[in-house]
């Protein structure tokens, strides 16, 4: 079902529709929040609060572009969370391993080394470039959507993507002898 139909069902107090939307976006939104907060628990909380807010405001507010709204709310919520907890914020120990995982069991075996290498390269990218690249490649957002969420121009998104691909190519080839 499309987001629009699901959202209007939520406005009619359909809990199941909220649940479906949650299933569709939860992991990707947490991942995005995690890039900002660097804490697994807090990112889950931020995302939960966004869905609770959508539910509680279902009679009062109308959201036009749901995906955009979700990402933006998660971004704002994450930034607010950082402000609130800054004095005690420390980077999660599990940060590196939690950050990216290989999903495909076959490639996990055959290409484990190459994939670990790729994760290492992505982790070395400057923050904005990495966020753009991951939003496109892992979360599946279009350039235009990334631009809206991150408040940057489509041109900047495109440039960062080109640089990310270049960065990957340079670092990958450098060590390709060992692969």
Partner 1 sequence: MDNKFRELATKYFSNETSSEEVHLLVDFLQSSDLYQKWFDELAHQWSLTGKLSHSNFNTVKTKAKIAEAIAISQKKNTVKKLIFRVAAMLILVLGIGGSINFFAFPSDHWVEYSTKSNQNMKVVLPDNSIVWLNSSSTFSYSFSDKSVRKIRLDGEAFFDVKRNTTRPFTIQTNHLFTQVLGTSFNIDSKEEQVSVISGKVAVTNKSNHTVLVEKGEQVNHNKTSEKLSKIIIPNIINTIAWKDQVFVFDDITIKEALKHLGKTYSVNFTYSNNNIEKCKIRASFNNKSLKNILNIMCTSIGCTYIINKENKEIKIFGKGC
Query: For the chain, what's the residue count?
Result: 179
Q: Does 143 bind partner 1 (CB under 8 A)?
A: yes
Residue placing its CB nearer to partner 1 in the complex, 3 or 44: 44
Of the chain, the end-to-end C-alpha distance in Å amounts to 43
Which of these segments, 1-9, 27-35, 68-76, 80-88, binds partner 1 (CB under 8 A)?
Answer: 27-35
Is the C-alpha dihedral spanning 11, 13, 19, 22 positive or negative? Answer: positive
Site string for partner 1, 3-22 (x = CB under 8 A): ------------xx-xx--x
> What minimum distance in Å lies between the beta carbon of 49 and partner 1?
9
Site string for partner 1, 33-62 (x = CB under 8 A): -x-----x--xxx-xx--xx--xx------
**Residues 155, 160, 162: CA angle, nearest 5 degrees:** 95
Closest C-alpha to 98, from 27, 2, 16? 27
DSSP state of 65: S
**Residues 34, 44, 41: CA angle, nearest 5 degrees:** 80
Structure tokens at 94: 């599990």
Chosen residue from 12, 62, 90, 106 binding partner 1 by CB under 8 A:
106
Of 64-93, binders to partner 1 (CB under 8 A) are none
Counting residues that bind partner 1 (by CB under 8 A) gives 56
**Residues 125, 98, 123: CA angle, nearest 5 degrees:** 10
Give the binding site for partner 1 (CB under 8 A).
Answer: 15-16, 18-19, 22-23, 26-27, 30-31, 34, 40, 43-45, 47-48, 51-52, 55-56, 98-107, 109-115, 118-119, 122, 136-138, 142-143, 158, 161-162, 164-166, 168-169, 172-173
């Amino acid at each position: 079902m499309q987001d629009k139909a699901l959202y209007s069902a939520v406005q009619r107090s359909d809990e199941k529709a909220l649940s479906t939307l949650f299933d569709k976006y939860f992991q990707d939104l947490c991942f995005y929040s995690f890039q900002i907060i660097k804490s697994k628990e807090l990112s889950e909380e931020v995302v939960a609060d966004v869905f609770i807010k959508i539910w509680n405001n279902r009679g009062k507010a109308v959201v036009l572009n749901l995906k955009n709204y979700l990402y933006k709310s998660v971004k704002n919520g994450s930034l607010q969370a950082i402000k609130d907890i800054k004095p005690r914020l420390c980077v999660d120990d599990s940060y590196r391993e939690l950050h990216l995982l290989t999903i495909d069991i076959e490639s996990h075996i055959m290409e484990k080394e190459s994939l670990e290498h790729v994760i290492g390269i992505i982790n070395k990218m400057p923050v904005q470039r990495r966020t753009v690249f991951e939003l496109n490649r892992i979360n599946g957002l279009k350039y235009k959507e990334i631009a809206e969420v991150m408040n940057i121009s489509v041109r900047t998104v495109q440039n960062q993507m080109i640089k990310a691909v270049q960065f990957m190519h340079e670092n990958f080839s450098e060590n390709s002898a060992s692969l």
